[in-house]
A and B are shown apart, each in its own frame.
Chain A
């Protein structure tokens, strides 16, 4: 199953802007050239000073190799140096990966963090993949959906990407 390593970075906006540039221009080419890499995503918070980095791998074994590698340590160290605090990461399975259209910079991303009692994680996987995603895919502006799952802890994150803004969000909250 596809896996992902997710990190949240919080810093003053000018510092964070430097981190985003570092990730896009220096880290991205390195990560994407790694064996087993399935790409990298970078999200900037609607509230200033927050960003999310998502690194995708083909298998859990690829994830373990990356996590233990020198490049991962170097990137994490450089980010920590810039924001002056440690950068933590969470590892997830990615049981749902749906892409309705090619993704473009500036599109709106909504993350919903959920906690389930661990036996229920598989139920959410099924409902999200079999019921929610087809419904979302018929909604105008839909670009993609992911589900990150950590079954042992019951942590889940659904992620949807929208051309303009998620349904139900006031337009003024989404400057383009």
Chain B
């Protein structure tokens, strides 16, 4: 999708595509706006 919309420009390059398995994630969005 990104390639189709943007990466037809020579300014953009995909360097690598890597696949992983999630061990765990506790990542969450900030609960209040932050700078």
The residues of A that contact B20 with a CB separation of less than 8 Å are 43-46, 50-52, 108-111
Instruction: Contacts A38-B27, A111-B20 given; indicate if A117 touches B5 (C-beta within 8 A).
Output: no
Q: How far is the CB of B34 from chain A (nearest CB, A)?
A: 5
Number of chain B residues close to chain A: CB under 8 A: 28
Complex CA gap A109/B22 in Å reads 6
Which listed segment binds B: A64-72, A74-82, A125-133? A125-133
Number of chain A residues close to chain B: CB under 8 A: 55
Q: A residues touching B (Cβ–Cβ < 8 Å)? A: 1-2, 20, 24, 28, 32, 38-46, 50-52, 54, 56, 58-60, 97, 99, 103-117, 120, 123-124, 127-128, 131-132, 135-136, 146, 158, 161, 166, 169, 173
